[in-house]
Amino acid sequence: MPIRLLTLSVVLSTAAELHAEEPLPCAIQDTTAPAKEAEFFGAASGGSAVAKFTGVTLGLKLSEFPAELGAPARVRVETGDSKTPSIRVKGWANPGSFRYFARESVSLVGTQVRLTKGLEIVPLGMQNGNLTFEHPVLGTRGEDGNPVKLRGSIPCSKVALAPPGVDAADAPRGVRWYHMRASSLRVFDKPQGTQVVELRMDGHNGKVFFSADLPRSGWLYVTSPGDVTITGWIRSGDVELQPYAEVVNMQLLEPPPLRSPSLALAEPPKTLTATVELPILSKAEAGAPPLGVVEVGATIHGMDVSTEWTSVIPTSLAIMPVDGAGFWVKTASLPKP
As a 3-state breakdown, the chain gives helix, strand, coil percent values, each rounded to 5, of 5, 40, 55
Reduced to 3 states (helix: H, G, I; strand: E, B; else coil), residue 89 is: strand
**Which pLDDT belongs to residue 18?**
34
Alpha carbon 298 to chain centroid, angstroms: 28
Alpha carbon distance 318, 188 (integer Å): 50
Average pLDDT score over residue span 147-159:
93
Name which residue leads in pLDDT, 272 or 1: 272
Residues 113/107, Cβ–Cβ less than 8 Å: yes
Beta partners for residue 330, in sequence order = 309
Q: What is the pLDDT, as a whole number, of residue 24?
A: 61
Q: Are 242 and 177 in contact (CB under 8 A)?
A: yes
* Alpha helices in 27-71, H assignment, sequence order: none
With 90 as the cut, is the pLDDT of residue 309 above it? yes
pLDDT (tens digit, 9 = 90+) per residue, 22-51?
A: 456 799 999 999 999 999 999 999 999 999
Strands 278-281 and 219-224, bridge-based pairing: unpaired
Percent of the chain surpassing pLDDT 70: 93
**Given phi > 0 = left and psi -120 to 50 = alpha, else beta, which region is 15?**
alpha
Higher pLDDT, 10 or 269: 269
- In three-state secondary structure terms, 95 is helix
pLDDT digits (tens, 9 = 90+) for 229-260: 999 999 999 999 988 777 777 888 899 999 99
Residue 206 CA to residue 200 CA, distance in Å, equals: 9
CA 232, chain centre distance (Å):
28
pLDDT band at 125 (very low <50, low <70, confident <90, very high): very high
Mean pLDDT is lowest, of 121-130, 131-140, 204-213, 283-292, for 204-213
